[in-house]
Amino acid sequence: EVQLVESGGGLVQPGGSLRLSCAASGFTVSSNYMSWVRQAPGKGLEWVSVIYSGGSTYYADSVKGRFTISRDNSKNTLYLQMNSLRAEDTAVYYCARTNVLRYFDWVPLFDYWGQGTLVTVSS
């Protein structure tokens, strides 16, 4: 059974840092694409970042240069290092397995999601 469990959220001051973790089971993180998606309170979903199986990483313009996605293959865990945090980064952060079901029509989708971890940026 595929499971994703996020941790590491909490209250942080503006300008601070936080590292989120996403422990996976039932599949191998390094063999899959993995994403972070966030949702500000009462707002919609916002894609944040992806790491491809080959290791390439990409980011939303809103977090580029401040956030870093990575993985630890030995722990089968995905991470999101968040620096220079701003109030507008306050959100529930979800990790999601990112799958491509048709390589002739390459459009990644999010087929498994964690339960989310809340990050609050406030003084």
Partner 1 sequence: SYVLTQPPSVSVAPGKTARITCGGNNIGSKSVHWYQQKPGQAPVLVIYYDSDRPSGIPERFSGSNSGNTATLTISRVEAGDEADYYCQVWDSSSDQGVFGGGTKLTVL
List of residues contacting partner 1 (CB under 8 A):
35, 37, 44-47, 50, 56, 58-61, 94, 98, 101-102, 105-111, 113-116
The nearer residue to partner 1, 46 or 81, going by C-beta atoms, is: 46
What is the C-alpha separation between 116 and 123, in angstroms, rounded?
22
The nearer residue to partner 1, 40 or 87, going by C-beta atoms, is: 40
What is the C-alpha separation between 28 and 73, in angstroms, rounded?
8
Other beta carbons less than 10 A from residue 107's beta carbon: 7
Query: Are the beta carbons of 9 and 22 closer than 8 angstroms?
Result: no
Shortest CB 10 distance to partner 1, Å: 19
Shortest CB 16 distance to partner 1, Å: 26
